[in-house]
Amino acid sequence: MSTSGQVAQAARRLLLSLLLFVAWETGSGQVRYSVPEEAKHGTFVGRIAQDLGLELADLVPRLFRVASKGRSDLLEVNLQNGILFVNSRIDREELCGRSAECSLHLEVIVDRPLQVFHVEVEVKDINDNAPVFSLREQKLLISETMALDTHFSLEGAADEDVGANAVLNYRLSPNEYFSLEVPSNDEQVKPLELVLRKPLDREVDSELLLVLRATDGGKPELTGTTELHITVLDVNDNAPVFDKAVYRVKLLENSRNSTLVIRPNASDLDDGSNSHILYSFAKDVSPVTKASFRIDSDTGEIKVNGKIDFEEMKLWKLHIEAVDKGHPPMFGHCTILIEVLDINDNAPELHVKSLSPSVAEDALLGTVIALISVSDRDSGANGQVTCSLSPHVPFKLVSTFKNYYSLVLDRTWCRSLLGGSIE
């Protein structure tokens, strides 16, 4: 190769690098556009040819083309009018994830002379994602004796958008028991919490259903919800209560063994074993009571167990205890008054006290021969006794006092009439 040839080649190389330098120079005055994500096909982005200083007529002859890293089909240039437009749907979250900045980098190349331009197209977030809770419902089990101000952590929501579109506000459905504690934005590590504001009572509300709502800061705002199912756990805070403090019942004496006397009924507002009741006689019940009656520990039924005798006991007073199976157990008490009804099971009894072993034949009328008392262990009409003498005897009964009589001489003594007796 001749020296002159070498010189010519070096000159050409210099020219080329100068040209390239110019091209880079032009490219450094970067053009920037922005387009909202999700924009429709054909949405105008920018007059790219004009903004890069290219003649429309040159685009085709100079082989105008656009290259971009990754997805190259998202934007396109109309070679007739030099306009950059949206070709297919751009999903910002797919393109850039959750990073605050998101843009497409375009490399625009033309030949003759070779020029390379760099164009940035910023993809702006629109509020196209609602806050999402990973759980549709969250279950919480809380004891009814849980202290006020206790905190329970909750799963928060996530929003795929960025900036204001992803700033979440939480609200809890109106309720009297819980409020929400939301960590401020610079405390993102702290969980969302439910705070107990009013004592729970399983006997009033055993299940609570709250709705937690997250709203983002976009315009228009989008919301997501999750349900909070709260089960209030029972503690043994209720004693068994009898439906009466005193039960009154009447029972015939001599009632047969196993006759049902009464069934006192206690109930307990608690749940499960905390409301399971056992019945028994109270500790102070006498052995005589236990011999006469028995109680079924499951049903509370009180039945006759021994002999019920009116003449021995007219009124029974039974103290009954109900105890639940909680830990510790709770007690309830009642009293049962059993009035025993008399039946006529006792015959009248006569006591005769003779004053003198014999009566003189000339004894005066009205002479008291004997003192008689009658009694009957039954009561009421069953215990009322009438006394009479057999007819045709020379005596009469004179009542001296209730159930006391005197047998007195009524007629002149006559031996032949002897044989009259007292009935």
Answer for which of 243, 296, 339, 423 binds ligand NAG (CB under 6 A) is 243
Q: Percent helix, strand and coil across the chain, each rounded to 5?
A: 15, 40, 45
Q: What is the largest CA-CA distance in the chain?
A: 201
CB under 6 A: which stretch of 9-17, 140-148, 207-215, 257-265 binds ligand NAG? 257-265
In the complex with ligand NAG, the residue whose CB is nearer, 137 or 298, is: 298
Confirm if 127 and 37 have CB atoms less than 8 A apart. no
Answer for which of 306, 365, 368, 400 binds ligand NAG (CB under 6 A) is 306
In the complex with ligand NAG, the residue whose CB is nearer, 296 or 339, is: 296
In the complex with ligand NAG, the residue whose CB is nearer, 306 or 420, is: 306
Which strand (E) or helix (H) includes residue 308?
A: none
Q: Residue 5: which residues within 8 A CB-CB, separation 6 or more? A: none
Question: Taking the complex as a whole, how short is the minimal distance between the CB of residue 393 and ligand NAG, in angstroms?
Answer: 47
Question: Taking the complex as a whole, how short is the minimal distance between the CB of residue 323 and ligand NAG, in angstroms?
Answer: 16
Question: Taking the complex as a whole, how short is the minimal distance between the CB of residue 303 and ligand NAG, in angstroms?
Answer: 8
DSSP notation for 252-299: ETTPPTT-EEE---EE-SS-GGGG-EEEEE-TT--HHHHHHEEE-TTT
Say whether residue 94 binds ligand NAG (CB under 6 A): no
Provide the token pair at 399: 């009542």
Confirm if 160 and 139 have CB atoms less than 8 A apart. no
Q: How far is CA 6 from CA 19, 38, 77, 363, in A?
A: 20, 57, 42, 193
Answer for which of 28, 258, 358, 388 binds ligand NAG (CB under 6 A) is 258
Question: Taking the complex as a whole, how short is the minimal distance between the CB of residue 292 and ligand NAG, in angstroms?
Answer: 9
In the complex with ligand NAG, the residue whose CB is nearer, 154 or 304, is: 304
Between the CA atoms of 130, 133, 134 and 138, what dihedral angle is there, to the nearest 10 degrees? -160
DSSP, collapsed to helix, strand or coil, labels residue 92 as: helix
Say whether residue 298 binds ligand NAG (CB under 6 A): no
In the complex with ligand NAG, the residue whose CB is nearer, 92 or 294, is: 294
In the complex with ligand NAG, the residue whose CB is nearer, 83 or 249, is: 249
How many chain residues touch ligand NAG (CB under 6 A)? 7
Question: Taking the complex as a whole, how short is the minimal distance between the CB of residue 226 and ligand NAG, in angstroms?
Answer: 38
Provide the token pair at 304: 């006759």
In the complex with ligand NAG, the residue whose CB is nearer, 43 or 265, is: 265
Measured in residues, the chain has a length of 423
In the complex with ligand NAG, the residue whose CB is nearer, 291 or 398, is: 291
Answer for which of 6, 17, 153, 267 binds ligand NAG (CB under 6 A) is 267
Question: Taking the complex as a whole, how short is the minimal distance between the CB of residue 304 and ligand NAG, in angstroms?
Answer: 8
In single-letter form, the type of residue at position 98 comes to R
Question: Taking the complex as a whole, how short is the minimal distance between the CB of residue 298 and ligand NAG, in angstroms?
Answer: 12
Question: Taking the complex as a whole, how short is the minimal distance between the CB of residue 238 and ligand NAG, in angstroms?
Answer: 13
* Cα–Cα distance for residue pair 407/404, rounded to 1 Å: 10
Answer for which of 50, 257, 297, 400 binds ligand NAG (CB under 6 A) is 257
* Cα–Cα distance for residue pair 20/36, rounded to 1 Å: 34
Per DSSP (E only), the strands in 125-191 are 132-133, 137-143, 151-154, 157-158, 168-172, 178-181
- Phi and psi, residue 395, nearest 5°: -125, 160
Radius of gyration of the CA atoms of the chain, in A: 56
Answer for which of 265, 275, 335, 346 binds ligand NAG (CB under 6 A) is 265
Say whether residue 312 binds ligand NAG (CB under 6 A): no
Angle at CA of residue 221, ends 219 and 222, nearest 5°: 140
Which strand (E) or helix (H) includes residue 28?
A: helix 3-28
Binding residues (CB under 6 A) for ligand NAG: these are 243, 257-258, 265, 267, 305-306
